[in-house]
Chain A
């Protein structure tokens, strides 16, 4: 008979787990290293047209006239789309909070540089771009809102006139007795911080092929879709089609990190197909389009924040005031990024009370989207910088100050003031391991010597909590309703015993197909590489979400375990019937259904599945001839939020300490990373190599955010960054080789004890580097509180004390 909840890999029905927890090579890889994986631009359909999009050069302007006649007359052009078509056929984007969305192509006015104004479908991309040059648009420029501060000045121009204000949301969360904590504090450290816009920039931009079925009133979209069913729902709202008539087929993706974008491109390609008699239309966003106005801009934040600290170093209160530039509306769900810190507002610390004062505004910059981490990276930059400032004020070692304030192992499950419950952790063990790994005392001695010689050497020691397995309830207060995020799989055994796992998402790089195969293989006792993992189209797949919020590794594990358990129960019944015993007398072990009393007697998976499919005469009367099982997993025990946004939201709490040593060059302002050490605890590591890859990739993106990457806007909201010459993604030369060690505290609440681990490094790295730079600068009495700490920014600071 079937087992209960599988808390650890050892609980799987195999003598020894052969794949789970092992560094296995990935199922995904042969197709990727040979270049044969079917990324969207490798797919073509018969009769396919190619789309190019004309974009606004103005940040804010009324559209007076669009003349498309010359473009329409060109040989090879099949359709031209303008805002008038959208006004007739579409609705503006659904947003949270409601009412801050634009149409997928500008209607009446443009709100940011790069907003689509017209589009062409032609027989090839070159010709489509030629046709764009033939379109004449007359604009009347409007006064623009260049940044967050301008958005709230009286008399500011309105990005969405009908709203009467540029403030999307303004509210204060109060958790505990914040004012008392600050009144009674021995020290208050407070400061302002600025996090400039950065973003995902996967190497593959967004792409899709859309085909409108004119007679069936239905739409099929192939594309680089991270969250297929969510995309279908959004298209249903904007394109006014019933959701069950939209079929989203997710292709493998060249990365995503939350910032893949896609709604506007999909709508435009779909409408062009509708105008072109239902011919398929391909749209492949180019890098300039992505950088201008794709899904790749996030976190444009101005902070004022303060810590209340007692003389002994106990941190008792945290206040964070955030002014967040969402750009031209909330279509990219950037608002959620501002709410996400609720899941871990006070980080690793026992801080009793906190306040979050949040103002989200619309400006004429490009709309903001999710990016890996979804909000905590800037938040932890602020929190951890304050902790370092407090340490300097108290004359304490920053590592010791942190240690003194950690949540202790016996306090778990621990409810933070902002409401979420952390499942488990050993923060001090992780810290100590990091200090030992780096030989912290020796680094400090080295630093003292280097300082004496006039060098600017700094050390950052930062610990964070990574909330894993996101839940919608965390974002309720910005207008996203719901508790629970279903992730469904089907596990099927065929007549020869082959196992297929059907999921609702496609590859994006994190290796979830491999995880699904590892778990299924160790449950059903088959070879991992014999398991096939396949993506089902959104209209027939089970409820699913896909990648996001450090959830899919855990969620897909839960779903595969659930489906395998159902199969086990079913197979035990069939075998019991065949062997004239009761299901309780039968068990699954190492891929065989066997008699508990006499393990030599049993049947293989193939024999059971074969009997079910081909010998209905032998089955129990109420058993269907179907050796398949569906299971839809969602995190257990989640709760609805109260009026202060408090709830059990993210299921798991992973933890890491990053330790980094940097040197700042006095002459150039250039920061070099001299050493990087990481100790990470994400519970059970389902595939340790994949976990390492998630950490190393997050470090690289964190290095980018801390030192190089920035979407720069001019004073009139003109983007100054439009190519990879300006947006500086770290290369192999800039990313440090880290030394790593591991602590494993299995989650008591998640399947097999695994914790979400896709975002921890990007939560931690920017804060660690910024703290290290300020440690380096501290003898000079200057500090940098704005990201990225680019050579220019640091050089300007250094000039003040030169």
Chain B
């Protein structure tokens, strides 16, 4: 064990200051220190994408990132998406429900966070672009077809919402 280090990080708009071991991964920090359990762990070696969060707006693997590395950064997790006052689901979450983009749902937060980034940068992606964006996320249940449909639906609704 090494001496603890200070981390100041903004997660979902709230500032946290904690003393952590340098070896503590970001996903363990989020899940077990901050009790934000929506970011899941599937492999802890960077392949499955379940642990995807946004770090300063870019999607990243929180299992391959140390908590001390996000000192000073802004982290966004699945917990930030639901409207806190109305409880309404985010349009991407709602699209996953409506287009049956999940079965067990364990991979879903990772897919949704990757989709947040994709649709922010590309509001009208082609299927090929969606596949390229999501090919770092594994799902063992759905066979991905319904995920593709969910992302298309989310993109359409977000575009329509913007126009409206």
* A733 at interface, CB cutoff 8 A: yes
A731 close to B138 (CB less than 8 A): yes
B44 close to A286 (CB less than 8 A): yes
C-beta contact mask, A699-715 vs B, less than 8 Å → 1, else 0?
A: 11100000000000000
Q: Which residues of B contact A693 (CB under 8 A)?
A: 100, 103, 141-143, 146
Could you say which of A255, A696, A699 contacts B104, with CB atoms under 8 Å apart?
A255
Task: Given A30-B89, A33-B89, A204-B106, check contact A126 B21 (CB 8 Å).
Answer: yes
Q: Which residues of B contact A697 (CB under 8 A)?
A: 103, 140-143
* A719 at interface, CB cutoff 8 A: no
Task: Given A33-B112, A697-B143, A735-B144, check contact A42 B37 (CB 8 Å).
Answer: yes
* B65 at interface, CB cutoff 8 A: no
A36 to B80, CA, bound (A): 12
C-beta contact mask, A731-742 vs B, less than 8 Å → 1, else 0?
A: 111010110000
Which partner residue on chain B sits nearest A36 by CB separation? B38
* A690 at interface, CB cutoff 8 A: yes
Most chain-A Cβ atoms within 10 A of its Cβ — which of B96, B97, B142, B143?
B143
Could you say which of A29, A204, A724, A735 contacts B96, with CB atoms under 8 Å apart?
A29
* B64 at interface, CB cutoff 8 A: no
**Interface hit among A234-242, A300-308, A440-448, A505-513:** A505-513
Task: Given A25-B98, A257-B140, check contact A204 B40 (CB 8 Å).
Answer: yes
Could you say which of B48, B79, B112 contacts A724, with CB atoms under 8 Å apart?
B48
Q: Which residues of A contact B21 (CB under 8 A)?
A: 126
B24 close to A34 (CB less than 8 A): no
- Counting residue pairs across A and B whose Cβ atoms lie within 8 Å, the total is 180
Which partner residue on chain A sits nearest B99 by CB separation? A689
Q: Which residues of B contact A201 (CB under 8 A)?
A: 140
Could you say which of A202, A690, A729 contacts B100, with CB atoms under 8 Å apart?
A690
Q: Which residues of B contact A738 (CB under 8 A)?
A: 145
Interface residues of A in 1-60 (CB under 8 A from B): 25-26, 28-37, 39, 41-42
Q: Which residues of B contact A255 (CB under 8 A)?
A: 103-104, 106, 140-141
* A644 at interface, CB cutoff 8 A: no
Could you say which of A509, A690, A725 contacts B105, with CB atoms under 8 Å apart?
A509
Interface residues of B in 29-45 (CB under 8 A from A): 31, 37-45
Task: Given A696-B143, A737-B148, check contact A34 B106 (CB 8 Å).
Answer: no
* B7 at interface, CB cutoff 8 A: no
Task: Given A126-B24, A733-B135, check contact A33 B141 (CB 8 Å).
Answer: no
B145 close to A39 (CB less than 8 A): no
Q: Which residues of B contact A699 (CB under 8 A)?
A: 143
Most chain-A Cβ atoms within 10 A of its Cβ — which of B98, B139, B144, B147?
B144
Task: Given A126-B23, A696-B146, check contact A35 B79 (CB 8 Å).
Answer: yes
* B93 at interface, CB cutoff 8 A: yes
A35 close to B135 (CB less than 8 A): no
Q: Which residues of B contact A610 (CB under 8 A)?
A: none
Q: Which residues of A contact B55 (CB under 8 A)?
A: none
Task: Given A255-B106, A690-B100, A723-B45, check contact A737 B145 (CB 8 Å).
Answer: yes
* A254 at interface, CB cutoff 8 A: yes
Task: Given A33-B89, A287-B44, A701-B140, check contact A202 B104 (CB 8 Å).
Answer: yes
A36 to B89, CA, bound (A): 12
B140 close to A33 (CB less than 8 A): no
Could you say which of B77, B97, B107, B144 contacts A29, with CB atoms under 8 Å apart?
B97
* A698 at interface, CB cutoff 8 A: yes
* A253 at interface, CB cutoff 8 A: yes
B138 close to A724 (CB less than 8 A): yes
Q: Which residues of A contact B60 (CB under 8 A)?
A: none
* B10 at interface, CB cutoff 8 A: no
**In whole Å, how far is A116's beta carbon from the nearest beta carbon of chain B?**
19
**In whole Å, how far is B120's beta carbon from the nearest beta carbon of chain A?**
18
A725 close to B45 (CB less than 8 A): yes
* A783 at interface, CB cutoff 8 A: no
Q: Which residues of A contact B136 (CB under 8 A)?
A: 731
C-beta contact mask, B92-135 vs A, less than 8 Å → 1, else 0?
A: 01101110101111111100100000000000000000110011
Could you say which of A35, A205, A507 contacts B38, with CB atoms under 8 Å apart?
A35
C-beta contact mask, A515-527 vs B, less than 8 Å → 1, else 0?
A: 0000000000000
Interface size on B, residues (CB 8 A): 55
Q: Which residues of A contact B78 (CB under 8 A)?
A: 34-35
C-beta contact mask, A349-366 vs B, less than 8 Å → 1, else 0?
A: 000000000000000000
A252 to B108, CA, bound (A): 14
A203 close to B148 (CB less than 8 A): no
A203 close to B48 (CB less than 8 A): yes
Interface residues of A in 562-620 (CB under 8 A from B): none
Q: Which residues of B contact A700 (CB under 8 A)?
A: 139-140, 142-144
B108 close to A733 (CB less than 8 A): no
* B82 at interface, CB cutoff 8 A: yes
A34 close to B43 (CB less than 8 A): no
* B9 at interface, CB cutoff 8 A: no
A700 to B137, CA, bound (A): 14
B105 close to A254 (CB less than 8 A): yes
A200 to B103, CA, bound (A): 15
A255 to B139, CA, bound (A): 10
**In whole Å, how far is B86's beta carbon from the nearest beta carbon of chain A?**
13
Which partner residue on chain A sits nearest B109 by CB separation? A35
Interface residues of A in 456-477 (CB under 8 A from B): none
A34 to B112, CA, bound (A): 9
Q: Which residues of A contact B146 (CB under 8 A)?
A: 689, 692-693, 696
Task: Given A29-B97, A204-B40, A698-B143, check contact A511 B48 (CB 8 Å).
Answer: no
* B1 at interface, CB cutoff 8 A: yes
A693 to B78, CA, bound (A): 24
Task: Given A203-B104, A254-B104, A732-B135, check contact A34 B82 (CB 8 Å).
Answer: yes
Task: Given A689-B100, A693-B141, A701-B140, check contact A203 B106 (CB 8 Å).
Answer: yes
A507 close to B104 (CB less than 8 A): yes
Q: Which residues of B contact A510 (CB under 8 A)?
A: 103
**In whole Å, how far is A527's beta carbon from the nearest beta carbon of chain B?**
17
B43 close to A287 (CB less than 8 A): yes
* A179 at interface, CB cutoff 8 A: no
Interface residues of B in 68-100 (CB under 8 A from A): 77-79, 81-82, 89, 93-94, 96-98, 100
Most chain-A Cβ atoms within 10 A of its Cβ — which of B47, B94, B104?
B104
**In whole Å, how far is A34's beta carbon from the nearest beta carbon of chain B?**
5
Task: Given A203-B140, A732-B131, A737-B145, check contact A724 B106 (CB 8 Å).
Answer: no
A725 to B146, CA, bound (A): 25
* A130 at interface, CB cutoff 8 A: yes
* B54 at interface, CB cutoff 8 A: no
B81 close to A39 (CB less than 8 A): no
C-beta contact mask, A166-200 vs B, less than 8 Å → 1, else 0?
A: 00000000000000000000000000000000001
* B155 at interface, CB cutoff 8 A: no
Q: Which residues of A contact B48 (CB under 8 A)?
A: 203, 287, 724, 729
Which partner residue on chain B sits nearest A696 by CB separation? B143
A204 close to B138 (CB less than 8 A): no
A28 to B141, CA, bound (A): 15
Sample of 11 more A-B contacts, CB < 8 Å, known A36-B38, A509-B105, A511-B103: A32-B104, A35-B37, A35-B40, A35-B79, A203-B48, A203-B106, A203-B141, A253-B104, A697-B103, A699-B143, A731-B144
Q: Which 7 A-B pairs have the closest CB atoms?
A: A35-B38, A254-B106, A32-B105, A509-B104, A696-B143, A509-B103, A700-B143
Q: Could you write out 10 A-B pairs with CB less than 8 Å apart? A: A32-B105, A127-B1, A203-B40, A203-B141, A252-B104, A254-B42, A255-B140, A696-B142, A723-B47, A731-B144
Q: Which residues does B use to contact A, with CB under 8 Å? A: 1, 21, 23-24, 31, 37-45, 47-48, 50, 77-79, 81-82, 89, 93-94, 96-98, 100, 102-109, 112, 130-131, 134-148
